[in-house]
Amino acid sequence: MIDENVVRYVANLSKIEVSEEEVEIFKRDFKKIIEFFNQLDEVEADVEPTYHVLPLKNVFREDIPGKCLDREEALMNAKHKEDGYFKGPRVVE
Amino acid sequence: MNVKEWIEKVENEGAYDSVAELLEKIEKSKLNAFIIVTKEIALKQAELYDKGEVKGKLAGIPVAIKDNISTKGIRTTCASKILHDYIPPFDAHVVERLKEEGAIIIGKTNMDEFAMGTTTETSFYGVVRNPHDLDRVAGGSSGGSAAAVAADETVLALGSDTGGSIRCPASFCGIYGLKPTYGLVSRYGLIAYANSLEQIGPMASSIEDLALLLEVIAGKDWRDSTNVGKDFKFVELEKNFKVGVIKEMRANEDIQQFFDEFINSLRKIAEVEYVSLPSIKYALPAYYVIAMSEASSNLARYDGVRYGYALDTLDSWNRYFSKVRAEGFGIEVKRRIMMGSYALSAGYYGRYYLKALKVRTLVKNDFERALSKFDVLISPTMPSVAFKIGELTDPVTMYKADINTTPVNLAGLPALSMPIGFVKKLPVGLQIIGNYFEENLILNFARMVENEVQFGEVA
């Protein structure tokens, strides 16, 4: 059953802040989407799952050092940086 | 305008003037097909071509690139606020190939945000209008690429197709679009939405042009571990085709009637039979469970730290990430990430995600059975003509428009959409599905259809 708590729970799992108004919108939408997903309950599928369509095996290559992004290129899209490093948010509250 | 016509134009007027004319057309356009126009790069490349300094299969030919494909030094936004300022420090494999073959990169095309949509209405940069009717959508998610080709704002374009994102806009805009076999074209540099389903593919205004662009982008690239390392080469074939019409892939009344008449004409030149793929009934919900689950995982990377939309002040990680993502993503992207998290969460994994992967096996088996009897399978690409802008308000109604295209991605098969006429002055697309790596057979069948079937028009 989709209620406010479920919406808040998946929003938190997804790390997306939601407003009161959005909770209402998503509650309505999720009910419809879950109903749509629930069509799968009708299927008897006594088969193996397909994660990938092609029978791919591990691909190996020679372990040769190649060119990487240099520090400047790697940092060029970051807003917060210091001394050539990314600066992230606090992880300990 | 196809490649042949463009080359003639360039021979008469020079590449520089021809490209300048194209750029002016884009600037005046009402379609909103481009997010970024790479004016200087295009003119410089045209100038080099005129000096005879450019060689390659695509020398002097304008190509537009969907804006979820990384271009070094050129903004790549995925039509999302979260990547509005993002400049990739590297090229996608397909972009490297375009450059190696001398293409003129004309710009980055508009799309649904992160390729999640069927109309481009989820783009942060606004909807792409349909060149056949400006009040209608161009289709999605590669709507900008399709509209640009249809309106001669480019000659060739790249799109990407996760559940129909090349074929849908090709159908709505009356052009050609091909989703290659999964693994034929490297996804290196394609910004991921649902990586077990998506492929980059060519969009063009002729079958020969599709084949040409596919020849360029297909091939080995070790940086995509699902790339199979096969090349593609177009070879003309004379063949008596055995064609299966998929019973479960239908369209609304107008298009269905048009399509049935098309089938009758097709019988004169090919062996045509109806074929049933019963599992297709469940392909659509299975597709959306898988696509949303993969999206929730793939889009976890947008945290406002290394790239993308960021807040001025760094807060605690939980609040910072949640706020960046709340402000950076649009509503459809949020819906899909959250429903994906739900489908993968404890207690629901078996019921939704695992079940969807089992349905995927059934769909794949049904296709393989049918393709052991037929050379190609066909259906209407879309169940309707292009929607009016704003017509689809409910998300599930929108998802249902992908009913004929998504099964192909679940199975990883190649499929092409080609224009076969008009209903109420709007283009109708034929979907042609082939066996794994049978792109050549599909293209040859399309060529035969184009040469020998009289296309209809329904007022």
Q: Which CATH number does the domain housing residue B104 bear? A: 3.90.1300.10
Please give the Cα distance from B249 to B309 (Å, whole number).
41
CB contact B298 to A (< 8 Å): no
- Hey, are the CB atoms on B307 and A17 less than 8 Å from each other? no
% pLDDT > 90, chain A: 77
- Hey, are the CB atoms on B305 and A80 less than 8 Å from each other? yes
Distance from CA of B92 to the nearest CA of A (A): 14
Give chain B's domain count: 1
User: Which are the catalytic amino acids of B?
Assistant: 66, 141, 165
Pairing of strands B199-204, B62-66: unpaired
Please give the Cα distance from A57 to B215 (Å, whole number).
25
B317 to chain A: nearest residue by CA?
Answer: A89
* pLDDT at residue number B43: 98
Q: Residue B444 is which amino acid?
A: N
Q: What value does the mean pLDDT take over residues A45-59?
A: 87
- Hey, are the CB atoms on A48 and B361 less than 8 Å from each other? yes
Residue B393 in any domain: the answer is no
- Hey, are the CB atoms on B321 and A29 less than 8 Å from each other? no
B142 is in which domain, residue-wise?
3-217
Number of neighbouring beta carbons within 10 Å of residue A91: 8
Please give the Cα distance from B423 to B426 (Å, whole number).
5
- Per-position pLDDT tens, chain B of length 459: 999 999 999 999 999 999 999 999 999 999 999 999 999 999 999 999 999 999 999 999 999 999 999 999 999 999 999 999 999 999 999 999 999 999 999 999 999 999 999 999 999 999 999 999 999 999 999 999 999 999 999 999 999 999 999 999 999 999 999 999 999 999 999 999 999 999 999 999 999 999 999 999 999 999 999 999 999 999 999 999 999 999 999 999 999 999 999 999 999 999 999 999 999 999 999 999 999 999 999 999 999 999 999 999 998 999 999 999 999 999 999 999 999 999 999 899 999 999 999 999 999 999 999 999 999 999 999 999 999 999 999 999 999 999 999 999 999 999 999 999 999 999 999 999 999 999 999 999 999 999 998 887 776
CA end-to-end distance (rounded Å), chain B = 26
B394 to chain A: nearest residue by CA?
Answer: A29
Residue A42: which of B282, B349, B249 has the closest Cα?
B282
Q: Which residues of A touch B293 (CB under 8 A)?
A: none
Provide the residue ranges of all domains of chain A, joining segments of one domain with +: 4-42
Residue B265 in any domain: the answer is no
* pLDDT at residue number B273: 98
At residue B106, the 3 state secondary structure works out as: strand
* pLDDT at residue number B459: 67
Residue B148 in any domain: the answer is yes
Please give the Cα distance from B175 to B286 (Å, whole number).
29
* pLDDT at residue number A22: 96
ipTM of the complex: 0.96
Fold of A4-42: Histone, subunit A (1.10.20)
Residue B103: which of B64, B146, B152 has the closest Cα?
B64
Of A16, A33, A39, the CB nearest to B325: A16
Distance from CA of A81 to the nearest CA of B (A): 9
B329 to chain A: nearest residue by CA?
Answer: A16
Q: Which two tokens stand for residue B144?
A: 């900008």
Give the contacts of B190 (CB within 8 A, at least 6 positions apart).
B68, B69, B70, B92, B94, B160, B198, B200
Distance of CA B45 to the CA centre of its chain: 26
pTM to 2 decimal places: 0.97
Please give the Cα distance from B61 to B47 (Å, whole number).
12
Distance from CA of A41 to the nearest CA of B (A): 8
* pLDDT at residue number A58: 79
Residue B438 in any domain: the answer is no
- Hey, are the CB atoms on B226 and A61 less than 8 Å from each other? no
